[in-house]
Amino acid sequence: MTANIIDRKERPALDPKDFKGDVHPDWCPGCGDFGVLNCLQRVFAELGIPKHEIAVISGIGCSSNLPGFINTYGMHTLHGRSLPNAQGFKLSHHDMTVVAVGGDGDGYGIGVGHFIHALRRNMDLTYIVMNNSIYGLTTGQTSPTSAIGMKTKSTPFGNPEAPLNPITLALGSGASFVARAFTGNPKQVVEIYKAAIKHKGFAIIDTFSPCVTFNKVNTAKYYKDNTYDLNAAGHDTSNIEAAFTLAIKDTYGTDRIACGIFYQSERPCYEESEKNTLSTPVVDHQLGISPERAKELKATFQ
Amino acid sequence: MANKNNVIVRIAGAAGDGIQSTGELLGKTCSRMGLHVLAYNSFQSAIRGGHVWLQMAIGPEKQTDHGEEPEVVLLFSKTSPPVHVPDVKSGGTVFYNAATIKKEEIESIRSDVNYYGLDLKAMADAAKLTEVNSVMINVMLAGAMVQTLNLDGKVTLEFIKHKFLKKGEKVVELNHAIFNLGFEWTKANTKPLNLNLKGNNIPKLFMSGNDAIGMGLVAGGLKFYAAYPMSPATGILHYVSTLAQSDKLIIKQVEDELAAINWAIGAGTAGVRAATGTAGGGFCLMVEALGFAGMGEVPLVTVLVQRGGPSTGVPTKIEQADINLAMGGNGDFPRFIVAPKDLEDCFYQSARALNIAEKYQLPVILISDFFLSEHFETVDDLDFSKIKIERGKLLTEWNSSEKYKRYAYTDDDISPRVRPGTPGAMHLTISDEHNEYGHLMSDIEAGLPHARAERIKMHAKRMRKVQLMIDNGDVKPPTLEGDTNAQITFVTWGSTYGYIKSAMKLLEKEGTKANHLHFTDIYPIPREQTLALFKKCKRIISVEANMCNSLCRQILAETGFEITEHINRWDGEPFTGEYIVNELKKKSIVDKQLVNA
């Protein structure tokens, strides 16, 4: 295996079918999450990463079932805790490719504290949030990205709270790779995911993944009609001010919704600070203390 | 009667006065002379001010009790005398900082102790020392203490050199000079105590329980520790952090305790030995993830250092009321709970915790308490060669033609665990109920006949690991120490161990024989063996630093045996042997009154 902090070699492409899991997805027909799954399988195959060198780690929710449908290592953790598990896993076995996945409730609601710190920490992993602006698995309550006024089971008179903006939050928290994608445009999704996995640092891709059952507002048609490719429009991804200008545009109103890579910087990833310890993956370290070292440890207390 | 080769001393002042460094000078002097020391820190949650004191028991034997009345006291701040002078043993000695404490005021408190005020500025000026800082009074008073206890001043001078050398020769010389001023002044102006503190000249380790836990974890193969600072568990994070680079450990302070335990679970899943540590409040946040480690069969060690509760409670004081918390979580899952009894035990049990976690693929909770974790004590030696790292069924290869089942049913209910990254054995670690492959059943299968059968089987597979730990002899019954014919049996757990030893000695002098049943493994408890031990006991009295008898409830739940007599303390201060004996006497008076009525 190659150590990601040192190099990522180009490798021959694999067959996406290899990445098909044992279990058929139980998502509703037409769910956006199928798009994320298919794209991710294609990306792993096209990047040629062997399946045993990948860990896909999720929280809880409809979209967090994804690791069960892909043939790699992985964890299906607790609600909101994909990132802590993914970061602990990554530092322990840093030459594996780690992708954290989950929904908007999981990542921007119950897990938002971890999200912010993961952004500033900048560990070399990829985080895909399948954002549908609704709680699906619990049958349709308001989410952190539901629009003001949106009627859901928990807000029958309309959501009074302003939605969280994942892109400005990420940009403001020291993220080194910030992107937005829409599952209705798989070509762009694949491109972005590839760039994100290749990126040496923490990459967040807020991915519109419409819920066909509980969100009748932010539908596939809504995004199809309102999104455009910001990179094709000539955005400079190294310019954080320009990224903010695009990111503050309302995704629920009359503004066109920009999709693509908002920002990418080359600041050192977290693993660089542990270079000595990570000269070999921690899982391969010899355990325990030599008799000579034991003497030294005890001497500090004498 | 003053024990001639044994002494209790106290160093008191406000936070920021250097009480800890004075204690370190004295403690290291004794430990390097081969004497035993037990030092109890009493402090509050303030960084400056308040009342801070350190009480130390010193003697040639292992010290188990910091005692009640100090014979020699060093007082630093003007608020100290009214708090501490009344505690001094009659005929004892008080050295104080004459710059902050007025002679008339302190001497008016009581007349049966000897007072000596030391004036740093006057004495330093007379000796023509320059660059003297008022906080250096602590070195001068340490000189007074070392002289009055008739300890070897050369040992202290050597330690001062060791401690200050990185600040330069000049700093060493100045501190030596100030120490000598205090030492010589005391020699010339005071009556030496009738003491003969003789060590065996074999230097001991002088460390805290948190240091010992950290060292035990590292000795046991720890590679990963994630935590969020919380008293009194933070010392573990501090200690292992110092080793991060030299010993190639991943040590992470993360954003909260939810993160800390989940980072450790991620690391444990990846295949490294991982732990986290916190106090009761932080542990509350970790409990959901504890169940995840149980369900996902992930090896994990969580150190739970108890402090006064509930809620934020009393952060810097002792309490032993968190067994219920360690037993907490939704649903049933296997776990192992161990409570070390002293510093050596902190070291060995921490290493053992990592082995059990990995061998049985489950969460282990190591319970300490404020006193055990934060107090300093001498340790003869820690034997690293006794620690054997056992990784259980961890595989780094999968060559079978069969598809790998992470949660395979096996004869002993422990499934071979293939390390992620291994070709051909891709699988999930999962928090939902699942089948042998780790496919979840909650979404579309739960409730169907085959899923019900699977649920019964998989749940039972996990829970049978509890009995397996007992059957394998990896979980031990309590230990019964002392005369089996004793009239009284004290039942304890955790740091209360040492105080019972000291209470037993005091009782023996009065002609009362007591023995001691101590629980180290708190869950599971081997039922039959434990009941057999209870059968041997006459009058059984629990001694716990809590109000509601955490251990007794655990014993009742696990064995059906009910303990009905209790000695409790929950004012935040640790027991002492004397305290326990007094409580016992009060009980006996009540008993007699009942008989007479």
CA separation for the pair A66, B381 (Å, rounded): 52
Range of the domain at B564: 479-596
Under 8 Å CB-to-CB from B568, ≥6 apart: which residues? Answer: B543, B544, B545, B546, B547, B549
- In total, the C-beta contacts within 8 angstroms joining chain A to chain B are 195
Give the pLDDT band of residue B597 (cuts 50, 70, 90).
Answer: low
The CATH number linked to B380 is 3.40.50.970
Taking the CA of residue B22 and the nearest CA in chain A, the distance in Å comes to 16
- In this structure, are B96 and B236 located in the same domain? no
Range of the domain at A159: 16-272
In this complex, the residue of B252, B258, B440 whose CB is nearest that of residue A76 is B440
Indicate whether B46 pLDDT > 80: no
Task: Judge: A81–B289 Cβ closer than 8 Å, yes or no.
Answer: yes
Residue at which a domain ends, from B386, B420, B450? B386
Mean of pLDDT values over B146-153: 96
- In this structure, are B530 and B505 located in the same domain? yes
Please report the pLDDT score of residue B592 as a whole number: 74
The CATH number linked to B109 is 3.40.920.10
Cβ atoms of B55 and B8 within 8 Å: the answer is yes
In a domain, B469, yes or no: no
Please report the pLDDT score of residue A7 as a whole number: 55
A-chain residues near B292 (CB < 8 A): 77-78, 81
- In this structure, are B505 and B525 located in the same domain? yes
Strand order across the B539-544 sheet: B479-481, B514-519, B488-493, B539-544, B565-568
Instruction: Report the sign of the C-alpha dihedral through residues B407, B409, B411, B413, in that order.
Output: positive
Q: Any CB–CB contact under 8 A between A85 and chain B?
A: yes
In a domain, A111, yes or no: yes
A-chain residues near B27 (CB < 8 A): none
Classify B430 as helix, strand or coil: strand
Q: Which of residues 88-117 of A touch B (CB under 8 A)?
A: 88-93, 95-96, 113-114, 116-117
Residue at which a domain ends, from B386, B412, B433? B386
Give the count of domains, chain B: 4
Indicate whether B330 pLDDT > 60: yes
Residue at which a domain ends, from B173, B202, B231? B202
Give the pLDDT band of residue B4 (cuts 50, 70, 90).
Answer: confident
Instruction: Quote the DSSP letter at residue B314.
Output: B
Predicted TM-score (pTM) of this structure: 0.96
Task: Judge: A73–B203 Cβ closer than 8 Å, yes or no.
Answer: no
Average confidence score pLDDT of chain B:
95
- Which position has the token pair 């679970």? B265
Indicate whether B447 pLDDT > 90: no
CA separation for the pair B31, A12 (Å, rounded): 64
In a domain, B470, yes or no: no
In this complex, the residue of A26, A88, A281 whose CB is nearest that of residue B226 is A88
B-chain residues near A277 (CB < 8 A): 244-245, 248-250
pLDDT in tens, B76-123: 999 999 999 999 999 999 999 999 999 999 999 999 999 999 999 999
In a domain, A9, yes or no: no
Task: Judge: A92–B274 Cβ closer than 8 Å, yes or no.
Answer: yes
Which value does ipTM take for this structure?
Answer: 0.97
Strand order across the A73-76 sheet: A227-229, A257-264, A177-182, A203-208, A126-131, A97-103, A54-58, A73-76, B428-430
Task: Judge: A288–B245 Cβ closer than 8 Å, yes or no.
Answer: no
- In this structure, are B215 and B354 located in the same domain? yes
Instruction: Tell me the pLDDT of chain A (302 aa) as tens digits.
Output: 334 454 567 899 999 999 999 999 999 999 999 999 999 999 999 999 999 999 999 999 999 999 999 999 999 999 999 999 999 999 999 999 999 999 999 999 999 999 999 999 999 999 999 999 999 999 999 999 999 999 999 999 999 999 999 999 999 999 999 999 999 999 999 999 999 999 999 999 999 999 999 999 999 999 999 999 999 999 999 999 999 999 999 888 888 999 999 999 999 999 999 999 999 999 999 999 999 999 999 999 99
Give the count of domains, chain A: 1
In a domain, B587, yes or no: yes
Q: Which of residues 293-312 of B touch A (CB under 8 A)?
A: 296
The CATH number linked to A174 is 3.40.50.970
Q: Which of residues 496-535 of B touch A (CB under 8 A)?
A: none
In a domain, A300, yes or no: no
Please report the pLDDT score of residue B444 as a whole number: 77
In a domain, B141, yes or no: yes
Structure tokens at A36: 């994320």
Q: Taking CA B273 as the corner, what is the angle to CA B526 and CA B407, rounded to the nearest 5 degrees?
A: 65
- Which chain A residue has the Cα nearest residue B225? A88
A-chain residues near B266 (CB < 8 A): 57, 75, 77, 84-90, 92
- In this structure, are B486 and B557 located in the same domain? yes
Task: Judge: B389–A287 Cβ closer than 8 Å, yes or no.
Answer: yes
In a domain, B563, yes or no: yes
- In this structure, are B165 and B276 located in the same domain? no
In a domain, A302, yes or no: no
What percentage of chain B reaches a pLDDT higher than 70? 99
CA separation for the pair B364, B354 (Å, rounded): 8
pLDDT in tens, B408-427: 999 999 999 999 999 999 99
Mean of pLDDT values over B341-353: 98
Q: Which of residues 116-155 of A touch B (CB under 8 A)?
A: 116-117
- Which position has the token pair 């740093």? B120
Taking the CA of residue B245 and the nearest CA in chain A, the distance in Å comes to 7
Q: Any CB–CB contact under 8 A between B286 and chain A?
A: no
- In this structure, are B103 and B162 located in the same domain? yes
Mean of pLDDT values over B306-318: 95
CA separation for the pair A176, A264 (Å, rounded): 5
In a domain, A287, yes or no: no
